[in-house]
Copies of this chain bind each other. A is one copy, B any other.
């Protein structure tokens, strides 16, 4: 690519004649790594005009740079950075320009959370039992593309460019209200729905609005690590509640609970579905003790073993449940599209906070999804994914049993992963490392738990990204490394 003349400035720090200053400027660009061998320099005419100097000055500077082998000239086609130009120094040299004491300047730290780690190149591994990534063999890329194109058409220009701070794309909100939520047994009006950047953003907004330093958040242990991070950053009191085979036990909630975060349809990561009785008890307690419930209803579409039960929110008769939905799992996580459903006064605050944090959700993403949903492609995709996951799960189940491995979470509804036990004497980090060396990726249980000591006997084994044909061999290696 050609280097634009606009990237050149004659700054104070260059010295000597104009010609010499131009030479310094070009050499510095090469030495700093900004310009790379083979790239085309601006013509002497253009650069001279831009800098407000005579063309001859630039030509003389270029000729000097050629004799120093910074540049080469290819006759009439112009000047180029020489292939044998001096290479830039290692970049760490640039650090010397920083004299700020960042340990002091940073008022609040956010880094250092324990999160689920996945190698960036996970796709290069032959047996990736990783969770939550889109499978290109299942995704309906062709229809997604058509919907994206439709959303980019002249008629939809305003949906692309409009400011959606005050209201989200009405087409998307209407579809969610009239088709998606009713499948979960939920009735909601447009002012009770807010579009978010994925479920993560929905959980974050809810936590910011409902929690303060004096309030208590109860949540499941183990849980989605991103949620624990959100609650920790909210600086509220934390009440992790151990889950059992029926999900979150409402009787263990402390009296001072203000907000409960739960995954009733599909506990993350153990895959348990909360029983109807527990759901009713949870809502009764919420009424009695005046607390709120934030329900993360992720992956409900992936119920292929039993029919999806209605959401906890569908049983909510007094507006105590705030519902978090997401299209990331069934479409793809990079889409970053989720939603919050709750009473209008809550949604109003969530909208105002969202506006301050990021203004609004990109219009194109909203409109493309609205088309994909309303043209029926989404339902067809969900059916296809469900069938593929069902097939993979049966094979997984069979292979797991064949090798005598033990499943820790029941996942009676389906889903895309098993919650597994390592069994006695096996440390999960060690197991993970040994498996990785043999091309098998699993997810250790530790990041899901409250403390770094917990969860060393569990791991998650997902089948959303591994082809059917790879499953038997992958499980066989796993069994071998577990000594079965």
Known: A141-B154, A161-B332, A333-B163. A356 touches B109 (CB 8 A): no
A320 at the interface (CB under 8 A from B): yes
Q: Are A318 and B97 in contact (CB under 8 A)?
A: yes
Taking CB atoms and an 8 Å cut-off, the chain A residues in 173-222 that contact chain B are: 178-179, 182-183, 185, 187, 189, 196-198, 200-201, 204, 208-212, 215
Taking CB atoms and an 8 Å cut-off, the chain A residues in 85-140 that contact chain B are: 91, 94, 97-100, 102-103, 105-113, 118, 120, 123, 133-134, 136, 139
Minimum Cβ distance to chain B for residue A136 (Å): 5
A384 at the interface (CB under 8 A from B): no
> Could you tell me how many residues of chain A have their Cβ less than 8 Å away from some Cβ of chain B?
109
Report the separation of the CA atoms of residues A158 and B135 in the bound assembly, to the nearest whole angstrom.
10
A14 at the interface (CB under 8 A from B): no
A229 at the interface (CB under 8 A from B): yes
A53 at the interface (CB under 8 A from B): no
Q: Are A358 and B198 in contact (CB under 8 A)?
A: yes
Contact of A102 among B148, B345, B357, B376 (CB under 8 A): B345
Report the separation of the CA atoms of residues A231 and B376 in the bound assembly, to the nearest whole angstrom.
44
Closest A-B pairs by Cβ, 4 of them: A98-B319, A99-B318, A7-B182, A111-B352
Contact of A343 among B100, B351, B353 (CB under 8 A): B100
Contact of A99 among B164, B319, B363 (CB under 8 A): B319
In the complex, 16 of the A-B residue pairs with CB atoms within 8 angstroms, ordered by the A residue number, are: A1-B376, A7-B179, A11-B185, A11-B310, A34-B187, A99-B318, A100-B343, A109-B349, A110-B349, A133-B161, A141-B152, A161-B334, A161-B335, A204-B356, A229-B356, A336-B361
Report the separation of the CA atoms of residues A365 and B112 in the bound assembly, to the nearest whole angstrom.
28
Contact of A100 among B111, B320, B352 (CB under 8 A): B320
Report the separation of the CA atoms of residues A336 and B152 in the bound assembly, to the nearest whole angstrom.
16
Known: A107-B210, A365-B365. A319 touches B201 (CB 8 A): no
Chain B residues near A164 (CB, 8 Å)?
334
Chain B residues near A352 (CB, 8 Å)?
109-113
Q: Are A4 and B230 in contact (CB under 8 A)?
A: no
Contact of A204 among B318, B336, B357 (CB under 8 A): B357
A359 at the interface (CB under 8 A from B): yes
Chain B residues near A413 (CB, 8 Å)?
none
Q: Are A292 and B105 in contact (CB under 8 A)?
A: yes
Nearest B residue (CB) for A199: B359
A314 at the interface (CB under 8 A from B): yes
Report the separation of the CA atoms of residues A50 and B34 in the bound assembly, to the nearest whole angstrom.
63
Nearest B residue (CB) for A5: B183
Taking CB atoms and an 8 Å cut-off, the chain A residues in 304-362 that contact chain B are: 307, 310, 314, 317-320, 332-336, 343, 345-346, 348-349, 351-353, 356-362
Q: Are B189 and A91 in contact (CB under 8 A)?
A: yes
Q: Are A107 and B212 in contact (CB under 8 A)?
A: yes
17 further contact pairs, Cβ within 8 A, besides A102-B345, A136-B154: A7-B182, A110-B209, A110-B352, A110-B353, A111-B349, A120-B167, A133-B161, A145-B152, A160-B334, A197-B357, A198-B359, A200-B359, A204-B357, A334-B360, A336-B361, A336-B362, A364-B365
